[in-house]
């Protein structure tokens, strides 16, 4: 148990569906992250929220939409995805962004787009 | 652009043998260095980190890493591996980039321990 909980753990969705991934951290952290992990590719940082403000958007397609309603919760809204978006989506948190802070990861949400 | 290079994508090793996983980074400023481990079907978890002080850092599960500033390296070592060490290992660097501190991850090294 890392203190970062992701739901659902597995999601299968069609290309026309709308779904959301949810992340909750119980560590009192101020920064939250979404990463994409695909087979044979480096970990890709998608979005960062620091003190509820989005500080990073790594040229992510608009079919991915993050939401951070408070410092404990982070969502990733998904719509009209493509098969190449199938991957493991990891949520993470840290005390603040960067510096020497350890990043704590959830177990991930496996997404399959059909 | 800053980068983290993990020189080996896969490292097969026999049980009880020593192992070294290599990591080099590009940066001309002060950095913080991390190794994370990802076991199958799990997220990443911290193995060890270097912030300052002694260049030899000890982590969990018998791993250690040495920060070498002149060679911009942070190689991970274990003198005797177990089957349970089979996992993917990620090196990460946190440093000041344009806009503030950022953490960049390497591509990962898959350690496969054979009986």
Residue keyed to tokens 């991957």: A87
Query: Which of B34, B37, B44 best tests the A interface by mutation, with the highest count of A CBs <10 A?
Result: B44
Per the model's pLDDT, the better-predicted residue between B101 and A33 turns out to be: A33
Q: Is residue B26 very low, low, confident or very high in pLDDT (cuts 50, 70, 90)?
A: confident
Q: How far is the alpha carbon of A16 from chain B, nearest alpha carbon, in Å? A: 27
Alpha carbon A114 to its chain's center: 20
At residue B71, the pLDDT reads 93
| Inter-residue contact A35 to A90 (CB < 8 Å) | yes
Residue count of chain A: 114
Task: Give the nearest partner residue to A90 out of B43, B100, B106, using CB atoms.
Answer: B43
Handedness of CA B27, B32, B38, B42 (dihedral sign): negative
Q: How far is CA A38 from CA A89, A90, A94, B25, B63, in A?
A: 9, 11, 22, 22, 26
Q: Is residue B74 very low, low, confident or very high in pLDDT (cuts 50, 70, 90)?
A: very high
Strand pairing report for A64-70 and A73-79: antiparallel
- The pLDDT of residue B28 is above 70: no
A108 neighbourhood in chain B, CB within 8 Å: 42-43
Tell me the pLDDT tens digit for each residue of A11-61: 999 988 899 999 999 999 999 999 999 987 888 999 999 888 888 777 899
Task: Give the nearest partner residue to A98 out of B46, B101, B108, using CB atoms.
Answer: B101
- The pLDDT of residue A100 is above 90: no
At residue B15, the pLDDT reads 97
- The pLDDT of residue B98 is above 90: no
């Amino acid at each position: 148990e890392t203190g970062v909980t992701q739901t659902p753990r597995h999601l299968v969705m069609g290309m026309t569906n709308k779904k959301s991934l949810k992340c909750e951290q119980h560590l009192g952290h101020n920064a939250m992250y979404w990463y994409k992990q695909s087979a044979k590719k480096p970990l890709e940082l998608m979005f960062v929220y620091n003190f509820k403000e989005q500080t990073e958007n790594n040229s992510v397609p608009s079919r991915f939409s993050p939401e951070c309603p408070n410092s404990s919760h982070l969502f990733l809204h998904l719509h009209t995805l493509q098969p190449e978006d199938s991957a493991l989506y990891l949520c993470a948190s840290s005390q603040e962004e960067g510096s020497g802070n350890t990043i704590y990861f959830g177990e991930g949400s496996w997404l399959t787009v059909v | 652009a800053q980068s983290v290079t993990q020189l080996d994508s896969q490292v097969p090793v026999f049980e009880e043998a020593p192992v070294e996983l290599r990591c080099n980074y590009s940066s001309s400023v002060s950095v913080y260095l991390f190794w994370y481990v990802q076991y199958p079907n799990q997220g990443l978890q911290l193995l060890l980190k270097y912030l300052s002080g002694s260049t030899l850092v000890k982590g969990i599960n018998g791993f250690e890493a040495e920060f070498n500033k002149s060679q911009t390296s942070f190689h991970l070592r274990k003198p005797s591996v177990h089957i349970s060490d089979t996992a993917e290992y990620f090196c990460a660097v946190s440093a000041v980039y344009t806009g503030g501190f950022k953490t960049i991850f390497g591509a990962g090294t898959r350690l496969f321990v054979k009986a």
